[in-house]
């Protein structure tokens, strides 16, 4: 199980890094979203993977660490808001600048910026 | 009664103020929102002073949220360093907000509330004693900064905000991975507890914790704008409105604070196998950051861009000085940190004023028409320039002198002195060039008509006078920062104070 889990996290991360290095804002946003999935999975595993364990100490032989679950929940909420914001921002940028190239240099009005 | 909650009040006051400001306040909400904001900022300032006095008495305030004892619940841990940084934030925020209240807040919606949220996030980041809580407060201050950076709108702000947001989202993801790794190895998130746990690690576990720790360095490096991660800063700071840039003068210091906290307390000199994992990197990167900033100011053709690169130089100085890892150098560094926060705040506001009154030439470093308050700005610019460059007699000189003096016994003299003096020389050249081009060689003819309100000028004057005050009271301030540094390096007291605090 650990192998499968870590391979999943690894592939997600690798794909997201590839996407983040693209030059257009849409793939970058998708890449960041993917990275946040990978991070959430990773965080979840930091309490070690347990099967059939309640997150309550003392009730069973095996128990799951509840803290990473709380952390993941926080991370999901924050990540969700951030993703929404960055998508809106990317769409606005696309609308106002007419391109979704992240780094296009335009020397029109602001000169030496 | 209220004293026992003192540690959390500087976080709660801005939060409540922001929520109040978000209420519908009738047809003309702005005056009421401004009143709430100013009142809250004043109250935060008073509370920060009270907090500092209290911390001086008790050494450290530990506030267990919900009364859950330390390694299990989240605690706020306000030591002298936190109290100092919170006071600096409050002192900077008030004049910047006064400046913002002169119609700057009408450029976009909810500036006032976002400002308070921003202050809340910064205060929280300084106060917390839990590394995941640090992440949460980082997000709070980042979310408000995303919106503030956009304040006023416009194409260029959109693009730089997009860069800033994407970069910081990546930073947040790395932060979580770093925290997760540390938690996986040590089983705790409390910083003081982490310090004790990390000391006992060895072998594979130590290597894993090291990976997590270095990941955090990247995150804090993005926030503080250390060399390979500084490219967002000049663009972001120079395209946004002056008032936001001035508030952001403290933002890079949040990164510096996080570095100082984590790499002294958790991966500090007493962490056995993991002792000082970041310091070699910080040393080299700090020096190169100074160099990069110096190249930047030479190339800058815009006053705001120039000031942004001056921020980069000061960050390099702070980081390189911190990496020398001694109480004396850290004490000197903290003095310089306070100075550079106030003076860059003042410079961003001043650049904004100059850009406004010059009209068409704005803040570009070219000759332009005379301004309505030409001589006042010239004097202010002179004072600010002397302070930021580090010429005698103002606080920049005192700060640099302290750093160099403290660095002497460490054998790092050659590189640090060379980098600092070289950067200073380049600063003299560039800042003088900017000043003489913009303020001296004015075009003949009538002065521009636009005139900024005096209240805005007074905000700049307050920040500049802080630099003068820091020069006059250099000795008491230095004594205090030395005390801060001594406490910071007395690592053993942290677990004993934080972890014993529990349910009574």
3-state helix, strand, coil in chain B (%, to 5): 80, 5, 20
What's the whole-model pTM score? 0.93
Q: B-contacting residues of A 2-41, CB under 8 Å?
A: 20, 25, 28-29, 32, 35-36, 38-39
- Residue B452 vs residue B121, higher pLDDT: B121
Check A32 against B173: CB less than 8 A apart: yes
Cβ of residue B16 closer than 8 Å to a chain A Cβ: no
Structure tokens at B262: 């984590």
Q: From the centroid of its chain, how far is CA B384?
A: 18
Share of residues in chain B with pLDDT > 70 (%): 98
pLDDT bucket at B149, cuts 50 / 70 / 90: very high
Task: Look over chain B and give the mean of its residue pLDDT values, rounded to a whole number.
Answer: 91
The two tokens of residue B115 are 């400002």
Question: Mean pLDDT over residues B326-339, rounded?
Answer: 94
Question: In this structure, what token pair is assigned to residue B311?
Answer: 């921020």
For chain B positions 176-235, those within 8 Å of chain A (CB to CB) are 176-177, 179-181, 183-184, 189, 235
Q: Using the 8-state DSSP alphabet, how is residue B266 labeled?
A: I
The domain segmentation of chain B, as residue ranges, is: 278-493
- Per-residue pLDDT at B82: 95
CA distances from B7 to B114, B178, B235 (A): 22, 27, 35
Q: Which residues of chain A have pLDDT under 70?
A: 104-113
**Per-residue pLDDT tens digits for B177-187:** 999 999 999 98
Instruction: Say how far apart CA B113 and CA B413 lie, in whole Å.
Output: 46
pLDDT band for position B424 (cuts 50, 70, 90):
very high
Q: State both tokens at B384.
A: 């600010």
Give the tens place of pLDDT for each residue, A31-58: 999 999 999 999 989 888 888 878 787 7
In chain B, % of residues over pLDDT 90: 71
Please give the pLDDT value at position B501. 52
What residue in A sits closest to B232 (Cα-Cα)?
A103
* Nearest residue to B420 via CA among B389, B386, B387, B385: B389
Is B5 a residue whose pLDDT tops 80?
yes
Half-sphere exposure of A5 (CA within 13 A, CB side): 13
User: Going along A12-58, which residue ranges are E strands?
Assistant: none
Is B363's Cβ below 8 Å from some Cβ in A?
Answer: no
Q: Give CA–CA dist B443/B437, Å, rounded.
A: 10
8 Å CB contact of A39 and B176: yes
User: Under an 8 A CB cutoff, do B302 and A113 touch?
Assistant: yes
Query: What Å distances lie between residue B344 and A33, B360, B425, B464, CA to CA?
Result: 35, 24, 18, 10
Chain B contact set for A96 (CB, 8 A): 155, 158
Tens of pLDDT along B234-284?
989 999 999 999 999 999 999 999 999 999 999 988 888 888 899 999 999
Of the pLDDT bands very low, low, confident and very high (cuts 50, 70, 90), residue B410 is: low
| C-alpha–C-alpha distance, residues B219 and B215, integer Å | 7
Contact B162 A102 (CB under 8 A): yes
**Mean pLDDT (whole number) for B217-246:** 91
Q: Would you call A32 and B161 a contact, using CB atoms and an 8 Å cutoff? A: no
Residue B503 pLDDT exceeds 50: no
Closest CA to A26 of B162, B173, B156, B145: B162
* Domain ranges, ordered by start, for chain A: 2-50+64-97
Say yes or no for a CB contact (<8 Å) between A89 and B235: no
E strand or H helix that includes residue B76: strand B75-78
Question: Rounded distance, CA B289 to CA B228, Å?
Answer: 8
DSSP designation for A104: -
What pLDDT, on a 0 to 100 scale, did the predictor assign at position B1? 67
Interval B435-448 mean pLDDT: 85
Cβ–Cβ contact A54 with B under 8 A: no
- Distance of residue A24 Cα from the nearest chain B Cα, in angstroms: 11
Give B13 or B447, the one with higher predicted confidence: B13
The predicted complex's ipTM stands at 0.90
Report pLDDT for B396: 93
Mark yes or no for CB contact B132/A71 under 8 Å: yes
Residue-wise pLDDT for B114-143, tens only, equals 999 999 999 999 999 999 999 999 999 999
Q: Which residue has the higher pLDDT, B256 or B105?
A: B256
Q: What SS3 state is found at A102? A: coil
Q: Please determine, for residue B161, whether its predicted confidence score (pLDDT) is greater than 60.
A: yes
Residues of chain A contacting residue B136, judged by C-beta atoms under 8 Å apart: 74, 78
Contact across the interface for A86 and B235, Cβ inside 8 Å: no
Question: Are residues B488 and B54 in contact, defined by beta-carbon separation less than 8 angstroms?
Answer: no
Across the interface, of A71, A97, A112, the residue whose CB is closest to B159 is: A97
Tokens of B168: 């910081």
Question: Does B173 lie at the interface with A, CB-CB under 8 angstroms?
Answer: yes
Q: Which two tokens stand for residue B180?
A: 């997760």
CATH of region A2-50+64-97:
1.10.287
């Amino acid at each position: 199980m650990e192998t499968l889990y870590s391979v999943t996290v690894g592939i997600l991360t690798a794909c997201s890094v590839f996407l983040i290095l693209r030059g257009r804002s849409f793939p970058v946003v998708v890449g960041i979203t993917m990275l946040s999935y990978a991070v959430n999975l990773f965080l979840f595993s930091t309490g070690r993977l347990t099967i059939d364990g309640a997150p309550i100490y003392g009730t069973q032989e095996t128990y799951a660490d509840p803290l990473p679950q709380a952390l993941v929940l926080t991370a999901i909420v924050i990540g969700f808001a951030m993703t929404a914001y960055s998508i809106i921002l990317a769409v606005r940028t696309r609308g106002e600048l007419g391109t979704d190239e992240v780094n296009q240099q335009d020397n029109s009005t602001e000169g030496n910026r | 009664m209220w004293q026992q909650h003192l540690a959390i009040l500087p976080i709660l006051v801005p939060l409540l103020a922001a929520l109040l400001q978000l209420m519908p306040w009738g047809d003309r909400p702005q005056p009421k929102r401004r009143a709430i904001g100013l009142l809250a900022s004043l109250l935060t300032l008073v509370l920060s002073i009270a907090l500092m006095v209290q911390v001086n008495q008790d050494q450290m305030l530990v506030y267990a949220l919900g009364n859950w004892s330390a390694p299990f619940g989240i605690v706020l841990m306000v030591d002298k360093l936190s109290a100092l940084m919170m006071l600096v934030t409050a002192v900077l925020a008030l004049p910047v907000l006064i400046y913002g209240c002169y119609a700057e807040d009408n450029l976009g919606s909810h500036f006032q509330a976002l400002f308070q949220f921003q202050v809340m996030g910064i205060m929280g980041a300084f106060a917390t004693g839990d590394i995941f809580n640090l992440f949460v407060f980082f997000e709070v201050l980042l979310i408000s900064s995303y919106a503030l950076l956009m304040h006023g709108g416009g194409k260029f702000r959109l693009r730089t905000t997009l860069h800033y947001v994407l970069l910081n989202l990546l930073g947040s993801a790395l932060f979580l991975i770093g925290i997760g790794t540390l938690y996986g190895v040590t089983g705790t998130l409390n910083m003081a507890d982490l310090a004790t746990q990390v000391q006992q690690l060895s072998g594979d576990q130590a290597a894993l914790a090291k990976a997590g720790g270095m990941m955090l360095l990247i995150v804090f490096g993005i926030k503080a704008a250390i060399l390979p991660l500084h490219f967002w800063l000049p663009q972001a700071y120079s395209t946004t409105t002056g008032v936001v840039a001035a508030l952001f003068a403290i933002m890079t210091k949040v990164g510096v604070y996080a570095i100082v906290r984590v790499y002294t307390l958790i991966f500090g000199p007493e962490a056995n196998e993991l002792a000082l994992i970041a310091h070699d990197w910080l040393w080299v990167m700090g020096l190169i950051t100074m160099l990069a900033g110096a190249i930047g100011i030479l190339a800058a053709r815009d006053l705001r861009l120039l000031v942004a690169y001056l921020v980069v130089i000061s960050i390099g100085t702070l980081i390189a000085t911190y990496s020398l890892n001694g109480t004396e150098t850290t004490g000197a560094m903290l003095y310089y940190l306070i100075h550079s926060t106030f003076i860059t705040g003042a410079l961003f506001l001043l650049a904004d004023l100059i850009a406004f009154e010059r009209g068409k030439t704005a803040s570009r470093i070219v000759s332009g028409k005379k301004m309505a308050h030409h001589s006042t700005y010239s004097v202010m610019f002179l004072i600010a320039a002397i302070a930021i460059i580090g010429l005698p007699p103002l606080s920049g000189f005192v700060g640099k002198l302290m750093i160099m003096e403290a660095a002497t016994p460490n054998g790092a003299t050659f590189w640090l002195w060379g980098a600092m003096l070289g950067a200073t020389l380049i600063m003299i050249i560039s800042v003088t060039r900017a000043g003489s081009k913009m303020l001296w060689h004015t075009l003949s003819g009538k002065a521009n008509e636009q005139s900024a309100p005096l209240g805005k000028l007074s905000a700049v004057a307050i920040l500049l006078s802080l630099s003068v005050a820091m020069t006059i009271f250099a000795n008491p301030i230095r004594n205090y920062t030395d005390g801060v540094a001594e406490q910071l390096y007395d690592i053993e007291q942290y677990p004993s104070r934080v972890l014993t605090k529990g349910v009574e």
